[in-house]
Structures are given as structure tokens and as C-alpha cells.
Amino acid sequence: MSNADINDAGLHVEEVNLVEIAKKYGTPCYVYSRKALTESYTAYRNALAGHNDGNSLICYAVKANSNLAILNIFARLGAGFDIVSGGELARVIAAGGDAKKTVFSGVGKSHDEISAALQAGIKCFNIESSSELGRINTVAGNLGLVAPVSIRVNPDVDAKTHPYISTGLKTSKFGVAYGEALPLYRFAATMPNINVVGIDCHIGSQLLDSAPVAEATQKILSLVDALAAEGIKLKHIDIGGGMGIRYNDEAMPSTAEYLAPVLKTLAGRNESLLLEPGRSLVGNAGILLTKVEVLKQGGNDRDFVIIDAAMNDLMRPALYDAWHNIVPVRPRSGEARLCEVVGPVCESGDFLGHDRRLSVQEGDLLAILSAGAYGMTMSSNYNTRPRAAEVMVDGDKTYLIRKREEVAQLFAEEALLP
């Protein structure tokens, strides 16, 4: 287990027992480890140190987990950020992140978002269509500014991951088709309020093997060279995010092993390298701590373990049929039974784990592992459930980094008819 360890006292994160956290902050509750966050970032930094004199920037993909404390930890470590909305830009700035190290991705940037990003002085816009390019040129012109841009090219390689998180095929809504990239760059180079600075791609998520990324990088490099031959010189190459994490028993290479084929493809290049990792920086640095509310006998020899966390807290199982390890905080010696671990939400899709062997009683604490990425950020208030608290562990200390929501807050902005 990379994000929680077990000893005689039960499951703990760094030096803090999860029983103590449940007592102090209640459940359900996301618990993160500062040490794990720092280690995953450092693994990237070390792997990139030898490439192009360390001329690389790790732009953390904010959508994986956008809590200000987490953004702040990465900002202090020197990270840049990859954002997909004006809201995420505001978070980066509020967390002490550097706009000059921030890239803005996403297929539907609004006028207001573009304007806010230009005024904040971001590093570049990752352009996803010719329409967007024109819009950015116009907005920049109105503000008397020049927009730094990179075109997100769709390299048409198969990332071989879940279809919902595969983004590099030509049928995907993301990026500009490979064959349209050169003409779009030529056009961009003629625009008065556009400065072409880079190129990027992002082919998918939870990749266990970087061969498709290396293949995409190779295709991107031919575009970079073709552009240079026409006098359009790019400063950076952004290969996106996508490195997976171990949820179960996946054979996962280390960060250095994963990046090696890509760095080999890029060896000797002068352009600086950007990466946009999300999941691999935070996924295994967080767990969702939950309590067993009710045990219920089901048909088919399955018991239902109904917990106080649900699909609104952690959507990945319901959305992608994703598998998360679920472990008791204090293991019992009793016979383990086959269980369905479900939440209280009124949907049959509200499950956290199918077919788990568990020995639990009502009131027991469970930890849902590998929940640091796409957990809290995808949460909702479905069924008028307040969002969970978030806690950061740092050594033997704990910090509340997001207070549990209160029910009254959830409808405070609603209004009755006169």
C-alpha cells in the first residue's frame, strides 16, 4: 500500500492513525499525505533532471485535485499548473501558484476565461480548434495584449486505456487533427495578437505503459521540425499527462522508467519540455475514510456493507467501473464474507466496490485507497449530501484543509417564488 500502512494499531497515514482522524474530523473524510505528494513530485523532478539541463516544467493538472493546500504544496516545490477553466486559474492564484508557469487547456474556453488568463499573464493557451485561435486573437487584441499559444495536436495514437479517458484518437473531441496542425500554425503565425510558443498533446489517462506517448512525441517532433523549416520556431514541447497509478495489482513502471522512452525520443532537443501530470502526483497520496453504517443481508450470498461515503463522494467506480482497494482500518479476525460495498445514495450504480471479502461490523472504519485523484474534484451534492471534509497529514500533525459542508449551505443560494 503506498498511501496508508498498517501496523498493530491499525491503518495509518504517515504517523497518524486513521481512528484518530475519524474521531477528530468525522467521516466520510478525504485524508492526504504531504510526504506522498512531495515524493511523487520529486520522482518527476529527479527523472527530468538529466534532460536538457533540467529545462523542464511540471505543470500539475489541477482537475485531479484542486484543494488549495495541495496546489500550494506543489507551488512551493516549484511546479507549474495545467488548468481547464477560469475557476481553476483563480484557485492557482489563490494558492500562491505562478500564472507564468500555468498552461490553459480545454476545448471550450469562454471570452471571460481567456480575458482573465491573459490579464493574469499565463504561460500559454493550449489551443484546441481554429475557432478558439481566432477568439483568443480577438480577445487579446481588445486588451492590447499578445497571447502566447501552443496548439494541442491530436496525434491519432491509441492510448489503450478506458474509452472515457482516452483522448488522442481522431474521433476524440480534443485537440486539432494531425493533418490540420501545420496550416493552423501558419495561420497563427500571421495573427497580430498571437505569439506561437509551443506544441502539446495529451492522449489519455491511467496509462500503464508510455509507448503510445513516445509514439505521439515522435509524431509531434516531425511537426516541430517541419515548422522550424518554415521559420516557425517553437520554444516548448508539452507531452501532457496520463501516467497511471497502481490501484490494484497493475504492473506499473516507476516514474523514471515510464518517462525513459519519451526522454529518449526527445534526447538532444533544445525545446524545453512540459508535462501535465495529474493522477500520478496525487492519486496514491490520498484515501477516503468512511464508516460502516448498516450491514444488510443480500440475495446471492452477498452481504451489503452500506457505508457513509457514496458515489457523490467518489464517483470513479460508478462512472468508469473503476476498482479501488477497500481495507478495514482495524482488521477483525472473524470470517471474511463476500460483500458489496455500497453507499446510501438512491441509485443502483452507487457502489464503491463489488465482490469484496471483508470481515466488518457496523461502526467499523474502512479506507478506500488511491482516492487522491478525481475523488473530491468529481464529488457532488447529489441527494443533498454535504461534501466530505479534507485533511492533510504532515508527519504526526493533521490539518483540516477543507471543512465538511453543512446542509444549510447546500440550499442557501436557492429561492422560493414570491
Residue numbers at the binding site for ligand PLP (CB under 6 A): 61, 63-64, 82, 105, 202, 205, 240-242, 276-280
Separation CA 226–CA 188 (nearest Å): 15
Cβ proximity to ligand PLP: between 210 and 325 the closer is 210
Least gap, CB of 126 to ligand PLP (angstroms): 7
Separation CA 229–CA 50 (nearest Å): 28
Whole-number Cα distances in Å, 34 to 29, 74, 148, 356, 393: 16, 10, 33, 29, 6
Separation CA 155–CA 174 (nearest Å): 11
In sequence order, which ranges of 243-325 are alpha helices (DSSP H)? 255-265, 279-282, 316-320
The one catalytic residue among 59, 201, 339, 346: 346
Cβ proximity to ligand PLP: between 198 and 343 the closer is 198
SS3 content of the chain, % helix, strand, coil (to 5): 35, 25, 40
Parallel, antiparallel, or unpaired: how do β-strands 337-342 and 397-402 relate? unpaired
Least gap, CB of 96 to ligand PLP (angstroms): 21
User: Which among 147, 150, 132, 134 is positioned nearest to 59, based on CA atoms?
Assistant: 150
Cβ proximity to ligand PLP: between 162 and 354 the closer is 162
Cβ proximity to ligand PLP: between 61 and 191 the closer is 61
Provide the grid cell at 242.
Answer: 496520463
Separation CA 326–CA 365 (nearest Å): 10
Least gap, CB of 383 to ligand PLP (angstroms): 27
Is 59 among the catalytic positions? no
Least gap, CB of 179 to ligand PLP (angstroms): 21
User: Which among 82, 192, 101 is positioned nearest to 147, based on CA atoms?
Assistant: 192
Least gap, CB of 178 to ligand PLP (angstroms): 17
Cβ proximity to ligand PLP: between 236 and 279 the closer is 279
Whether a cis peptide bond, with omega within 30° of 0, leads into 28 is yes
Cβ proximity to ligand PLP: between 27 and 66 the closer is 66
Residue 152 burial class via C-beta count within 10 angstroms: exposed 0-12, middle 13-18, buried 19 and up: buried
Q: Is 252 helix (H, G, I), strand (E, B) or coil?
A: coil
Least gap, CB of 29 to ligand PLP (angstroms): 23
Least gap, CB of 44 to ligand PLP (angstroms): 11
Least gap, CB of 249 to ligand PLP (angstroms): 20
Cβ proximity to ligand PLP: between 22 and 165 the closer is 165
Helix axes 211-229, 255-265, angle to 10 degrees: 30
Q: Measured in whole angstroms, how far is the alpha carbon of residue 101 from the centre of its chain?
A: 17
Cβ proximity to ligand PLP: between 219 and 354 the closer is 219
Would the CA dihedral through 34, 38, 39, 41 be positive or negative? Answer: positive
**How many helices and strands (H and E) does the chain possess?**
12, 21
Gyration radius of the chain's alpha carbons: 23
Separation CA 201–CA 204 (nearest Å): 9
Residues assigned a catalytic role: 346
